[in-house]
Structure 1
Amino acid sequence: MRTALALASLLLLTGCGATVAQDTSASDPVTVTNCGKQVTFDKVPSKVVTNDTGITELMFALGLKDRMAGYVVDSGNTVDLQTSPWKADFDSAQHLADKISKEVVQGAGADLVFAGWNYGFSESTGFTPDALAQLGIGTYQLTEACRNGVGKQRGIMPALDALYTDLRNLGAIFRVSDRAEELVRSYQRQVEEAGRLTAGKPRPKVFLYDSGQDQPFTSGKNAAPQDVIGKAGGDNVFGDLNDSWTTVNWEAVVQRSPDVVLIVDYADGESNTPAQKQAFLEGFAPLANAPAVKNKRFFSLPYAALVEGPRNPASIEAFAKFLASS
Structure 2
Amino acid sequence: MKKNLFAISIILMLTLTLSACGSTAPSAQKTPDSSVTETSQNSSKEEGEYPMTFNNYGREVVINTKPQKVLTLGPNCTELFVALGLTDHIVGNSLKNHSRGPLPEYAKEFEKIPELNYGSATREAVISSGADFIYGLDWEFGGDSLNTDELETYGISTYMNSATSMEEIYQEILDIGQIFGVTDKAQAYVEDQKARISAVQEKIEGKEAPKVLIYDSGNDGVFTCSGVNFESLLIGMAGGENLFGDLTEKAWITVSYEEVLAREPDVIVIHDYDSPSVEEKIAEIKGNDMFAQLDCVKNERFVTIELESVLPGNRMAYTVEKLAKGFYPDLFN
Q: TM (normalized to structure 1)?
A: 0.80
* Residue 28 (structure 1) aligned with residue 28 (structure 2): no
Amino acid at match of 1:56: T
Q: 1:277 aligns with which of 278, 281, 288?
A: 281
Amino acid at match of 2:116: L
- Equivalent runs, 1:221-260 vs 2, <5 Å: 221-242=227-248, 243-260=250-267
Deviations 1:191-217 (A, max 9, x none): 011112322111100011111322322
Aligned residue-pair number: 284
Moved more, 42-51 or 239-248: 239-248
Matches within 5 A, 1:116-135: 116-118=137-139, 120-123=140-143, 125-135=144-154
Cα deviation 1:75-116 (Å, max 9, x = unaligned): x456234x4532112101222221312221222201112213
For 2:130, the equivalent position in structure 1 comes to: 109
Query: What SS does the corresponding residue of 1:55 show, helix, strand or coil?
Result: helix
182-191 vs 232-241, greater mean Cα deviation: 232-241
| Other-structure match for 2:59 | 37
Runs of 4+ more than 3 Å apart: none
Of stretches 177-186 and 35-44 in structure 1, the one that deviates more from structure 2 is 35-44
Q: Which amino acid aligns with 1:95?
A: E
Comparing 199-208 and 106-115, the one that deviates more: 106-115
2:194 aligns to what? 188
Change in CA separation of 1:278 and 1:27 when aligned onto 2, cut-off 3 Å = same
Shift of 1:312: 2.0
Q: RMSD across aligned C-alpha pairs, in angstroms?
A: 2.1
Q: Which residue of 1 aligns with 2:72?
A: 50
The amino acid that maps onto 2:161 is L
Name stretches of at least 5 consecutive residues in structure 2 with no aligned partner.
1-44
> How far is 1:31 from its partner?
1.4
Shift of the 240–41 alpha-carbon distance from structure 1 to 2, 3 Å rule, reads same
Structure with greater helix share of residues: 2
CA distances 1:261-283 after superposition (whole Å, capped 9, x unpaired): 0001013xxx4111211121122
* Amino acid aligned to 1:37: R
2:223 counterpart (217, 235, 256): 217
C-alpha contact (below 8 Å) 2:75/2:99 kept by paired residues: no
1:209–1:264: 8 Å Cα contact kept in structure 2? Answer: yes
With normalisation by structure 2, the TM-score equals 0.79
SS in 1 for 2:218: coil
Identical positions, percent:
31
The structure-2 alpha-carbon separation of the partners of 1:130 and 1:306, relative to structure 1 and needing over 3 Å to count, comes to same
**Which one-letter code corresponds to 2:69 in the other structure?**
K
Inter-partner Cα distance in structure 2 for 1:323 and 1:164: 25
Equivalent position to 1:295, from 292, 299, 307: 299
Query: Which runs of no fewer than 5 residues in structure 1 stay unpaired?
Result: 1-22, 145-156
| Alpha-carbon distance, 1:222 to partner | 2.8
Check whether the contact 2:48–2:178 (CA below 8 A) recurs between aligned residues. Answer: no
SS of the equivalent of 1:263 reads strand
Aligned to 2:108: 88
Residues 99, 307 of structure 2: 8 Å contact kept: no
For 2:253 and 2:84, the matched residues in 1 are separated by 30
Q: Secondary structure at the match of 2:101?
A: helix
Match of 1:152 in 2: none
- Give the corresponding residue for 2:270: 263
* Counterpart code for 2:75: T
Counterpart in 2 of 1:204? 210
Pick closer, same or farther for the CA change 1:214–1:26 going to 2, 3 Å: same
Structure 2: which amino acid aligns with 1:60? V
* 1:122 positional shift: 3.6
Equivalent in the alignment of 1:148:
none
Please give the alpha-carbon distance, in whole angstroms, between the structure 2 residues aligned to 1:289 and 1:162. Answer: 40
Partner SS state of residue 212, structure 2: strand
